[in-house]
Structure 1
Amino acid sequence: MISVEKVSKEFTSKSGKVIGVDNVSLRIHKGEIYGIVGYSGAGKSTLIRCMNVLERPTSGRVIVDGVDLLGLSSKALRKARLSIGMIFQGFYLVSSKTVFENIAFALKAAGVDKTKRKERVMELLELVGLSDKIDHYPAQLSGGQKQRVSIARALANNPKVLLCDEATSALDPSTTKSILKLLKKINQELGITIVLITHEMEVVKEICNRCAVMQDGRIIEEGPTYELFAEPKRTLTKQFIHSVLDFELPSKLVEACTGRLVQLQFRGKLASEAIVSDMLQQFKVSGNILHGKVEYIQEKPLGIFIMELTGEELEVTSAIRYLEERLEQVEVIQ
């Protein structure tokens, strides 16, 4: 659906050239939700704006649904953009227009007649759950409601792609969850491909099929979201994962432990198997779970536990070897 091929974007400042995107290549499949995560200044917003040529790449190619956007005339590009909706952190609603008028404006600009505009706006308001706010103005709406209007406006012309630039960053956690649930519904019911820019790994975990981690204008790691959570390879990716799966033990607790501390990871169906209890029955060791959590990513469980094993050294070593043979990741902390 979207192919970004060796795209770079340079800006000129008083101090010289600044590289916003540095030779990035990505393939985003039709019908998936793809996340791009990175800290501020990583280049992720510039990259997503290159995908609809709001920022024209300095070099490379951007192909959306088989069309090379950089090879189009200005008129053809404007037409192609009708199939690419976009929502932003700041909503960008016209304060002097009602909810109805804000959504209808996108349809009017596309040449849709008045009768069909009204029908389409009503459909969209029902989809985003705002049918009762049709005559309200943006100042009368909450942040989440404003973003729902922005989503409805972005969907007005039946796009095939929806680009979301930090769409939940200005929202509280509860509202963020409701917006992510709406985006997932749109993806599943309408088959729209969604690209989601964020600096929050929690957002990626909630709805993204695949994701990429961006740093200094480059993609440093990419893959299925579950795999990135289960086995991150780059330091920055590990930092992002750590923000969701926080397993820092208090130093006083660690110092008080007399046994071996091990961190265990349970993937998929292993999360429901009695591997630890079987180990405790087979070996003369005692086990004390100090920390643990099970997250569901793409509806697959990922469990991480830290436990203390005590007993004779040979028994503890044998117990750890037993765990290593049955789990994909066992790390001896001390």
Structure 2
Amino acid sequence: MITLENIEKVYETKSQRVIGVDKVSLTIQKGEIYGIVGYSGAGKSTLLRCINILERPTSGKVIVDGVDLLQLSGKKLREARQSIGMIFQGFYLVSSKTVFDNVAFALKAAGVDRAERKDRVLELLSLVGLADKANQYPAQLSGGQKQRVSIARALANNPKVLLCDEATSALDPSTTKSILSLLKKINEELGITIVIITHEMEVVKEICDRCAVMQDGKIVEQGASYEIFANPMESLTKEFIKTVLDFQLPAKLVQNCTGTLVKLQFRGNLAEEAVVSDMLQQHSVKGNILHGKVEYIREKPLGIFIMEIIGEQPEVNKAINYLENRVQQVEVIQGVS
């Protein structure tokens, strides 16, 4: 659906040359939810705006649904942009217009007649859960409701792609969750390809099929979200993952442990099986779970546990060997196996 080839965006000033996006290439499949993660200044929002040519890349190709948008201009580019909806952190609603008129504005600009506009607006407001807010004004809405209006407006012209630029950053955790659920619903029911820019790995964990991590205008790591969480390769990615999956034990607790400390990773259905219990029953060792959690990455379980194994060293070794044959990753943190 979306292919970016060697996208570069350079800003020239009298005193310096700033590279906003540095030769980025990626492919986003039709119907998936793709996350682009990075800290402020990483270039992620600039890259997103290159997809609909709100920022014209200095070089490279932007291919959306088989069309290289950089080869279009004027009317043809405007028509192509109608298939790409966009929502922002700041909502950008017209305060003097009602909810109905804010959504209808995009349809009016596209030349849709009044009767059809009305039906479409009411359909969209129902989709985003605001059917009863049509005659209210933005000032009367909560932040989450304003973002729902923005989403309805972005969907007005039946886009094939929806770009979300930090769409949940200004919202509280509960509202963020409801907006992410709405985006997931839109993706599943309408088949719209969604690209999400965020600095929150919780967003990626919740709804993204795949993701890319950006730093200094470049993509440093990309892949299936589950694999990124389960096995991050780059230090920046690991830093982001820790905001969701932090398993650092207090130093005092580690010092007081007399056995062997191991970190275990369980993927998929194995995260819900009694592997540790089976190990303790089959080997002459004792075990203490010191830290553990099962997270769900796009609804697929990923379990990470830290435990102390106590016993004679040969039995501890056998227990660890048993775990290595049953789980995806076993890391000895302290003690000799």
**Aligned partner of 2:285: which letter?**
V
Q: Output the CA distance in 2 between the equivalents of 1:214 and 1:124.
A: 33
| Equivalent residue, structure 2, for 1:107 | 107
| Equivalent residue, structure 1, for 2:259 | 259
Give the drift of 1:217.
0.5
Greater CA drift, 209-218 or 265-274: 265-274
Give the drift of 1:274.
2.1
Secondary structure (helix, strand or coil) at the match of 1:303 reads strand
The TM-score normalised by the length of structure 1 is 0.98
Pairs aligned (count): 334
Q: Output the CA distance in 2 between the equivalents of 1:67 and 1:119.
A: 31
| Equivalent residue, structure 1, for 2:269 | 269
| Equivalent residue, structure 2, for 1:236 | 236
Greater CA drift, 216-225 or 314-323: 314-323
| Equivalent residue, structure 1, for 2:188 | 188
Give the drift of 1:75.
1.3
| Equivalent residue, structure 2, for 1:147 | 147
Post-superposition Cα deviations, 1:146-192, rounded to whole Å, max 9, x if no partner, equal 00000000000000000000000000000000000000000000000
Give the drift of 1:14.
4.7
2:286 is aligned with 1:312: no
Greater CA drift, 322-331 or 189-198: 322-331
| Equivalent residue, structure 1, for 2:39 | 39
Give the drift of 1:299.
2.2
| Equivalent residue, structure 1, for 2:222 | 222
| Equivalent residue, structure 1, for 2:82 | 82
The TM-score normalised by the length of structure 2 is 0.98
Q: Output the CA distance in 1 between the equivalents of 2:146 and 2:13.
A: 34
| Equivalent residue, structure 2, for 1:204 | 204
Structure 1 14/259 Cα, relative in aligned 2: closer, same or farther at 3 Å?
farther
| Equivalent residue, structure 2, for 1:284 | 284
**Aligned partner of 2:5: which letter?**
E
Give the drift of 1:15.
3.4
Q: Output the CA distance in 2 between the equivalents of 1:13 and 1:257.
A: 58
Runs of at least 5 residues in structure 2 that lack an aligned partner in the other structure: none
Q: Output the CA distance in 1 between the equivalents of 2:98 and 2:302.
A: 45
**Aligned partner of 1:135: which letter?**
N
Q: Output the CA distance in 2 between the equivalents of 1:247 and 1:273.
A: 20
Runs of at least 5 residues in structure 1 that lack an aligned partner in the other structure: none
Post-superposition Cα deviations, 1:49-92, rounded to whole Å, max 9, x if no partner, equal 00000000000000000111000022110110000000000000
Cα-Cα RMSD: 0.9
Q: Percent identical across equivalent pairs? A: 78
